[in-house]
A and B are shown apart, each in its own frame.
Chain A
């Protein structure tokens, strides 16, 4: 039989090329790996190797021919000693090149996978007691409860075990669960983020603590390329149930490299869940949900909030829904949307505004991805004015995203432009006065709210 030798595509983008030179002539014996011809593309000259053995039959495209389309038959190769000089020439039409040429029906644009509505927060039974608990202990309690519940859950990170946590979030875990499940790592973020991710792929449920998310920049490749995308790339075979957690955002006087909010970075990535709670009950309920999730979760805490105490319901198993915002203060005149430490500033601002006769509603997003558009838009429909407060840079931020949602789906409800209150667009300075100038505070939120209410 004879084999058609076709003009090869030698790069992902090549559509045609020049047949620069024939290195074999009609009648020559061809062995596997022999170079038959040289093909020139706009990028390189490449050798065209035989992958079958035989005798070169008719040459159909002459040396020097330019613009030869990929897939064109350029010569015939006779195998098994057959003589092809007499063989009929193939029909002139070039082979179909790429199947992609066949038009596919374009799917309707969609911003997210359609999902059922998140369930609401669980009802807290009447008579339930509450215990004032610092955020760091609420997080610890959540991890300990889930570790008791599921033997696959373990914690790894720098100083999480013997040192009891750089910020004491893992305090007491080593004592209860032992070194197999509370693992001190060397200072090697890229490495242990990869090991944690691989362990999740292998069937465990790791909680990887970053001493701060600033150090997770060393590891962001595994969070995004390995953890977030593998389920998709495997057609749904691979799982990566992992929680990456640690403090995020500005702390206090630690300078630019240790003060950054990564919420918008991770919230940009399909395949990740991103959670950033404010108070102790949300921290506990969402941490438990994050550990139980079958998806990779980035759980952003805040060092300045760790020591603040809030009521946590005395329930055995308090789990909150991921992807659901919470109205932390009801109001009718304006909506303030925030998350993490920003919620504290928003509540302070709402208090000051109420003294000025403005009744503000405060929405805590709690989850940054998937973002609860519905709660934002319902609040906007009620108040018709909206301000976003975010402890982070303004450009390409969660604030930008919320503004886009309001424009796209809430435009008819707006009585004023949406405003954002973010950190100044500068690396965070060290000097006390400059740092204060750079970060958001309640006063700036009050000013923005007064502006959208046309109160001045």
Chain B
């Protein structure tokens, strides 16, 4: 190490009083007091439609993959829908930014981005949101302040820290929502970012989408601390553990976390316990878990079925909901047709968007 010695004197900490008040679990306590967001009937229906759109879109993507229309890696979000919808429905779309990893279709759909251009990106067409140059893992919408769509596990956490720095620097009142998985939670740069985000009180909510498996490795085989929300403790980041299979619980937790961050208190680490029904990517035979395990979650914890029950309790009929499903299926079929029939990128696209300037 050739780092020059730092002659600066360490300042004594003067915030002992703050320390006594500082409770890493205070947000969690608030959340537990009132775990479910009191959604209006209209909001609940919207959540239902949004989650169902993700579900049907992903099923169709899986189908198109099976037909060879989608290539490469394709990571489906089926089972995790409540996380993106619960969190992103609480954002301020004018100010806040979102960044995630490669399992990104659901986060884009949660923004209401046109399913046509997302599906067309999956099939690698000119009309795709990245003109066919990104693919499933690399999609962006700067208009919505959605900054990807990143293929390197964990990279989006540090980049999200940078987006948060930009919010703070520009004093725009926005925050960054940075998603990562239980697998990425073991990357070193996540903790480098925790440290700086807390040190500089950056407006960022770190969300661990704990879907129980890092590719094929179960959480308990990869992680010494499997309670991911505790992993901010060493950086004085309060943690929250949230049922990621219930959109209303996620939404409620989101509001608590966002309020804390917007008040200038620095980051929050939120773990959403969820489950992916499909393999890690399309080419994963998922032999590391039993079929019964998957079926059990589907039958007892499914976020869409759960909300459906609530809607029916509120007086919606099976018929109403079937109509919604039908309309969403038709919308997704239209996106698939568009994605299948759009032209491939023009060969000139090969050389565009490499550099912005001309040199």
**Which residues of A line the B interface, CB within 8 A?**
6-12, 14, 33, 35, 43-47, 51, 70-71, 95, 97-100, 102, 104-107, 110, 113-116, 118, 154, 158-159, 162-163, 166, 180, 183, 185-188, 190-204, 206, 211-212, 221-222, 225-226, 230-239, 254, 258, 270-271, 273, 293-295, 321-323, 367, 370
Contact = CB atoms under 8 A, between A and B. Distances in A.
Interface string B133-153: 110001111100001111110
Interface residues of B, number: 84
A207 B353 CA distance: 22
B217 interface: no
B195 interface: yes
Contacts of B199: 186
Given A234-B130, A234-B133, 9 more contacts: A8-B65, A43-B283, A97-B67, A107-B347, A163-B4, A194-B161, A199-B162, A235-B134, A323-B359
Contacts of A115: 358-359
A197 B356 contact: no
A104 B344 contact: yes
Interface stretch (B21-29, B68-76, B240-248, B312-320): B68-76
Given A191-B189, A194-B161, A235 B133 contact: yes
B189 A190 contact: yes
Contacts of B350: 107
A280 to B, nearest CB: 22
B264 interface: no
A254 B356 contact: no
B317 to A, nearest CB: 18
Interface string B348-359: 101111111111
User: Shortest 7 CB-CB distances between A and B: which pairs?
Assistant: A198-B162, A194-B158, A191-B192, A202-B166, A8-B66, A323-B359, A11-B283
Contacts of A98: 68-69, 71
Contact of A33 (B277, B340, B347): B277
Nearest to A69: B68
Nearest to A196: B162
A232 B162 contact: no
Contacts of A163: 4, 6-8
A98 B161 CA distance: 39
A159 B6 contact: yes
Q: Is the interface of A mostly helix, strand, loop or mixed?
A: loop
Contact of A6 (B66, B133, B285): B66
B224 interface: no
A129 to B, nearest CB: 30
Contacts, number: 247
A239 B193 contact: no
A237 B195 contact: no
A234 B148 contact: yes
Contacts of A367: 359
A116 B2 CA distance: 43
Nearest to B166: A202
A204 B356 CA distance: 16
B169 to A, nearest CB: 6
B129 interface: yes
B308 interface: no
B159 interface: yes
B328 to A, nearest CB: 13
5 contacts: A47-B285, A71-B68, A234-B140, A235-B131, A293-B356
Contacts of A102: 344
A382 to B, nearest CB: 24
A107 B359 contact: no
A334 B136 CA distance: 52
B167 interface: yes
A12 B71 contact: yes
Contact of B352 (A46, A230, A236): A236
